[in-house]
Amino acid sequence: MSKIDMGEKQKKLKAGLEYIGVDRIDGPLVFIRKTHSVGYRELVQCIDPHGNTRLGLVLDTSKDIVCVQVFEGTSGLTMPDTHIRFMGEPLKFGVSEKMLGRVFNGLGQPIDDGPMPVAEAELDVNGMAINPTAREYPRDFIQTGISVIDGMNTLIRGQKLPIFSGNGLPHNELAAQIARQAKIKGSKTNFAVVFAAMGVKNDVARFFVKSFEETGVLDNVALFLSLADDPSIERTITPRTALTLAEHLAFNKNMHVLVIMTDVSNYCESLREISTIRGEIPSRKGYPGYLYSDLAELYERSGMIKGFSGSITQLPILTMPNDDISHPIPDLTGYITEGQIVFEREMYSRNIYPPVAGLPSLSRLMKDGIGDGMTREDHPHLASQLFAAYSYVKDVRNLASVIGEEELTPLDHQYMEFGETFEKTFVSQKMNEDRTIEETLNIGWRCLNILPREELHRVTDEEIEKYYGR
Amino acid sequence: MKERIIGQVKRVNGPVIEAMGITDAMMLELVKVADSRLIGEIIKLEGQNAVIQVYEDTTGVCPGDNIYGSGMPLSVELGPGLIGTIYDGIQRPLEDIYKISGHFIEKGIQVSSLNKDKQWCFVPEVNVGSLISGGSIIGSVQETERINHKILIPPEVSGVVKSISPKGDYKITDTIAVVETADGDKNITMVQNWHIRKPRPVKERLPLNIPLVTGQRVIDTLFPIAKGGTVAIPGGFGTGKTMTQHAVAKWCDADIIVYIGCGERGNEMTDVLKEFPELIDPRSGKSLMERTVLIANTSNMPVSAREASIYTGVTLAEYFRDMGYHVAVMADSTSRWAEALRELSGRMEEMPAEEVFPAYLPTRIAEFYERAGYMKTLSGKVGSVTLIGAVSPPGGDFSEPVTQHTKRFVRCFWGLDRQLANARHYPAISWLDSYTEYLYDVIPWWEQNAGPTWSEDRASIMELLQKEVRLQQVVKLVGPDALPDSQKFIIEVCTLFKNAFLQQNAFDNIDRYSSIEKQMKMLQVILTYYKLGSETIKRGITLVKLKHMSVYQDIIKMKFNVPNEDLKLLDKLMAKLERSMDQLESTYV
């Protein structure tokens, strides 16, 4: 027993021990030989020759050599004059409700000239896995005012629903619109937005700030900005810092937190960068084999917990490289998140906003959050019918592109018309248009009016009586 | 077991720890690392060094920390109290972890897998002086209303019963019998340990010829699986792997369900936990949770425990099989398990094979699926383990290694199709890519239980579906008008079959489960429609008129309107169909 105590005591004594000079610097990584025994993922302070402190984390530790990842980059470090101090504890982040309305860098240090808010709690940025038995199954419908989301890919409070977009598509506009319009039917609650920017352009960050300002919600938003010209390594910690604050707000302060993370592709690229420098065996497209687990650590930090009224809803944005949905980043994301909203370039060029591709988009939690008592009783069947009909439209369009539109049967012509109307009136809406769920569903029925009644297999006779043909 | 120090940490790299100064450790020994006692397993021994895979987050572990050996391999505890419990990948009950550490899972938590304080009513089934051998049943405990938990002698024990406790309440660790063996007396309790990587022994494997009835029409009628069989469900994200697994877990006619959530979403497990207790099993009338054991290792829980979770699950299943139960194991998803192997292999700097998976991947997949089977157990009873594994191929591409190797070792394949899923046609099991090798094994059972024409009817509809593919190709080139009505009618019947039969609504109170009789009758209605319809067309009636018959709408909605208990409605529908066809002919010909 005494032996163990001794060990613990020695560890504590050695915490804060500083070493002068490092043995190798490679990209964002620093290697030091002959240290005391350093803990895995221990926090490190790295003091550059000018006396400025940078933060780092132990990535690999052994008797002989320790590998440290420096978040603010290694530029300006020299081998003999760099001081390394091991802190003897994991990376923690002091969180506070006062962080709302403030702007931070990716590590959680204020960059808006204000002081660092006094921390209410010091939390490990890596978080911990939520016990599945402690989770509350999410089922509260969030009305975003956007038909194609509310009607067909319903967002649920506590869900993680990413936007799969491409360069040049209006994902930022959609995310901002959701943040502006999102509300729970018939309730007024404490809400907050945590915004994590990973490697995005300055203009994008400004767009979001402006959009929050205009709607007067800026006081409820905490921004974590690690922009394109910040060290890429900082991005690997940005979402974790942001989610740590989100967890504090949701589960200690009972707030409903919407976390917008953009752009996850940049985050993955930073991971790849570190992995390559460390000489790890790459998996698909050079991304590390643990990309799935790493992304899961982010996305799974959402949801609701029994006994707490707060929640974390995640809206990650990722740009699919070359619009390829089978690229590892969207692919792995889709396996973890509860659905996805997929953008289609072809629709955008036909001037449809939001250009949400009807068929590949999906909300997995939708089934339990819609219907009688939550939205409207016809919602589940109507959504299913719209999907089925729209899917047939796609087939007909393919057929028409081969044999020509004239050769189509009269029924197929009706489907073509349905497809047009559906895209122009249901999917398409203005960037400031806020439709209620009833409006959305009624527009859906108006589209179905184009089709003959016998084609509607997925709605019940009562629903047809009540809504069809009106 | 007394703890002993077997070495020190040398290097920490994620969940893989290198150890030095190893004195007496055995391969696959369960070890605890550092003062926080993180659970790990020795996976490589080399001179003084060892490689340890740790089942928890290793943040804060330092070189020089002690490693404690337990003297036994990573095992599960088997005994009353398993049913209805949710475990993590190494059989720690999550409910108990919740009580200790709250909403988040802290590391280094030591909890017992089974409740050691609870009293169970033990009923002896052998007498003093009985000869018993490994796997014999010496008594039973009514674990839930539905599950009678047999108390088994551990497989390595055999001899003569020297004493046995009378009927009464005991804790699982109380000695309930003493067996006189060749190596002296052995105390028998209601709990035993079993190494998760070692299959439990059986007397012999029996042929598979009874289907696992799932109540899902596309599965039972088109691609049936036998009890004791193996099946893979591959599909890209959003194609409904989990939904299919849930549907089978809910409605199949197994006695016990072991549901392994391996590297998947936390909310999915919460969904099962919330939904299963409320659902009633159509056969026993009891809650579905009363036959379910859950293993949850969600994607953000440590990766090495994900690797172990599959083995933990299948070992529990084998234990119930040894009592004479039919067990179905859902593994969702085996790709995450394979990726865990890949991640650990990468951390150990092993030479990678295809797609960076380790070269032993196919061996591991084969070992896992071979633990399925329809067995005669050591006690002479008959039980089975059916393995249903979901596969998540990257990009939905079935040519990747996990799908390909899995295909080699399973005998049934339910391929999920992206296009069907996009059209919200669920279950999105493709009738073109899927296959089953159990078909000929289960035909006798079906024909005996559902109807003598089952295999013939199934073959007819499969043939129609194949014809439709060729016709659709023609349509794609020249348009539908180029086809004669008789061929257009084939397309029409296939569309009807897809809408009215293959699609099944998991959330509809009637449609979510179809009895075999209902499936058979529905199939016959559709085939009759085809048979009579094509004759009518030959006599000159147009397709449009056929489609406008009111009975057509009835056929489409029969899955929603005819409950399993009231199949006479289907006979009536059949009669109406025949009548309508006659009327149509008499009106127009």
Statement: residue A8 has pLDDT above 60:
no
Q: How far apart are CA B425 and CA B421, in angstroms?
A: 5
Please name the residue of chain B whose CA is at the shortest distance from the CA of residue A280. Answer: B346
**How deeply is A42 buried, as exposed, middle or buried, from its count of CB atoms within 10 A (0-12, 13-18, 19+)?**
buried
* B354 and B416 part of one domain: yes
B418 inside domain = yes
Confidence (pLDDT) at A7: 53
Give one DSSP letter per residue of A217-251, joined into a string: -GGGEEEEEEETTS-GGGGGTHHHHHHHHHHIIII
Judge whether B553 is closer than 8 Å to chain A, CB to CB.
yes
Looking at domain A14-90, does it have CATH number 1.10.760.10?
no
Same domain for B410 and B285: yes
Contact yes or no for A293 and B300 at CB 8 A: yes
**Contacts within 8 Å (CB) and 24+ apart, B133-138:** B133/B158, B133/B378, B134/B158, B134/B201, B134/B378, B135/B201, B135/B322, B135/B377, B135/B378, B135/B379, B136/B378, B136/B379, B137/B323, B137/B379, B137/B381, B138/B164, B138/B176, B138/B177, B138/B188
Pairs from A2-7 (Cβ < 8 Å, separation ≥ 24): A4/B35, A7/B35, A7/B64, A7/B65, A7/B66
Residue at B89: amino acid letter: G
Q: Do B94 and A4 touch (CB under 8 A)?
A: no
Give the 3-state DSSP-derived string for B484-495, with helices as H, strands as E and coil as C. CHHHHHHHHHHH
For residue range A263-298, list pLDDT tens digits in order.
899 999 999 998 888 888 888 889 988 898 899 999
* Helix or strand run (H / E) with residue A84: strand A83-90
- Mean pLDDT over A360-365 rounds to 92
Cβ contact, residue pair A391, B424, below 8 Å: yes
> Which tokens hold the place of B526?
């559709």
Task: Report the residue of chain B nearest A60, measured CA to CA.
Answer: B13
State how far the Cα of A196 lies from the Cα of A216, in Å rounded to an integer: 19
- Please report whether residue B358 resides in a domain: yes
Counting the structural domains of chain B, the total is 4
**Same-domain pairing of B233 and B369:** yes
Window 140-169 of A: residues touching B by CB (8 A cutoff) are 158
Q: Do B579 and B501 fall into the same domain? A: yes
Q: Read off the pLDDT of each residue in B169-182 and give the average, rounded to a whole number.
A: 94
Whether residue B86 is contained in a domain is answered as no
Q: Is the pTM of this model over 0.90?
A: yes
Surface-to-core class of residue B453, CB atoms within 10 Å of its CB (0-12 exposed, 13-18 middle, 19+ buried): middle
User: How large is the average pLDDT for residues B13-27?
Assistant: 88
Contact at CB, A40 and B270, closer than 8 angstroms = no
Instruction: Say yes or no to pLDDT of B60 above 70.
Output: yes
Shortest distance, CA B216 to any CA of chain A (angstroms): 18
Beta-bridge mates of residue B376: B204, B382
Q: Which residue of B has its CA nearest to A395?
A: B476
- Determine the pLDDT at residue A5: 46
Nearest CA among B513, B520, B525 for reference residue B450: B520
Is the CB of B94 less than 8 angstroms away from the CB of A131? Answer: yes
Nearest CB partner across the interface for B267, out of A61, A127, A338 = A338
Q: Is the pLDDT of residue B354 over 50?
A: yes
Q: Report the pLDDT averaged over residues B293-312.
A: 91
Of A63, A130, A327, the CB nearest to B63: A63
Confidence at B50, pLDDT banded by 50, 70, 90: very high
B479/A281 CB distance under 8 A: no
* Interatomic CA distance for residues B272 and A132, integer angstroms: 10
CA distance B239 to B419: 9
Residue B23 placed within a domain: yes
Give me the mean pLDDT over the A6-27 stretch: 74
pLDDT band at B508 (very low <50, low <70, confident <90, very high): confident
Model confidence at B586: pLDDT above 90: no
* CATH code where residue B488 lies: 1.10.1140.10
Phi, psi torsion values for B189, nearest 5 degrees:
-115, -175
Would the CB atoms of A134 and B86 count as touching at under 8 Å? no
> Are B256 and B361 part of one and the same domain?
yes
> Hey, do A14-90 and A94-369 end up sharing a CATH topology, with the first three levels equal?
no
What pLDDT is stored for residue B72 in this prediction? 87
Q: Which of B377, B411, B437 is the last residue of a domain?
A: B437
The answer to whether residues B163 and B226 belong to one domain is no
Q: What does the alpha-carbon distance between residue A362 and residue A357 come to, in Å, rounded to a whole number?
A: 10
Per DSSP bridges, beta strands A53-62 and B4-13 are antiparallel
In a domain, B446, yes or no: no
* Closest of B240, B419, B415 to residue A387, by C-alpha: B419
Cα angle vertex B201, ends B195, B202, to 5°?
Answer: 150
Read off the DSSP letter of residue A150: I
Q: Residues of B with CB below 8 A from A360's CB?
A: 238, 422
Domain with B56, as residue range(s), is 4-73
Token pair belonging to B95: 């409910």
Asked if the C-beta of B342 comes within 8 angstroms of chain A's C-beta atoms, the answer is yes
CATH number reported for the structural domain that contains residue B353 in this entry:
3.40.50.300
Q: Which CA distances in Å does B404 have to B78, B238, B244, B311, B361?
A: 34, 20, 21, 21, 11
B173 plus B309 within the same structural domain: no
**Is residue B97 one of the residues assigned to a domain?**
no
∠ CA B175-B97-B60 to the nearest 5 degrees?
A: 115
Q: pLDDT per residue over B232-248, tens digit each? A: 999 988 898 989 999 99
Backbone torsions φ then ψ of A140, nearest 5 degrees: -90, 120
Contact A380 B106 (CB under 8 A): no
The continuous run of DSSP H or E covering A467 comes out as helix A461-467
Strand duo B373-376 + B382-391: pairing: antiparallel
Centroid of chain to Cα A217: 20
The string of pLDDT tens digits covering residues A195-250 is: 999 999 999 999 999 999 888 888 899 999 999 988 888 898 999 999 999 999 99
For B70-115, what is each residue's pLDDT tens digit?
888 889 999 999 999 999 999 999 999 999 988 898 888 889 999 9
Higher pLDDT, B204 or A127: B204
Residue with the larger pLDDT of the pair A280 and B123: B123
> Hey, which residues 424-463 in chain A have their CB within 8 Å of chain B?
454, 457
- One domain, residues B359 and B428: yes
Q: Are residues B484 and B577 in the same domain?
A: yes
- Domain termination site, one of B132, B160, B191: B191
Look up the ipTM and state it.
0.88
Interface test with chain B among A133, A299, A379, A398, by most B beta carbons within 10 Å: A133
Residue B34: list chain A partners with CB under 8 A. none
CA gyration radius for chain A? 25
User: Omega of the bond prior to A354 within 30 degrees of 0, cis?
Assistant: yes
One CATH from 1.10.3720.10, 3.40.50.12240, 3.40.50.2000, 3.30.70.20 for A94-369: 3.40.50.12240
Residue B105, in any domain of the structure: no
pLDDT given at position A73: 85
**Whether B421 and B306 share a structural domain:** yes
For position B301, what pLDDT does the model report? 87
| Residue B108 placed within a domain | no
Give CA–CA dist B297/B309, Å, rounded.
Answer: 7
- B426 and B478 fall within a common domain: no
Q: Tell me how far apart the alpha carbons of residues B533 and B545 are, in angstroms, rounded to a whole number.
A: 11
CATH number at residue B62: 2.40.30.20
Length of chain B: 589
Handedness of CA A244, A250, A253, A256 (dihedral sign): positive
Report the candidate in B80, B155, B158 with the shortest Cα–Cα distance to residue B126. B158
Task: List, for residues A294-350, the tens digit of each pLDDT value.
Answer: 999 999 999 999 989 899 999 999 999 999 998 999 999 999 999 999 999 999 999
Q: Could B352 and A281 be called an inter-chain contact, meaning their C-beta atoms sit closer than 8 Å?
A: yes
Domain limits of chain A?
14-90, 94-369, 379-467
B431 lies in the same domain as B460? no
B548: closest chain A residue by CA: A454
Q: What does the pLDDT average to over B440-452? A: 94
Strands A18-20 and B148-152: unpaired
- The rounded distance, in Å, linking the Cα atoms of B339 and B360 is 13
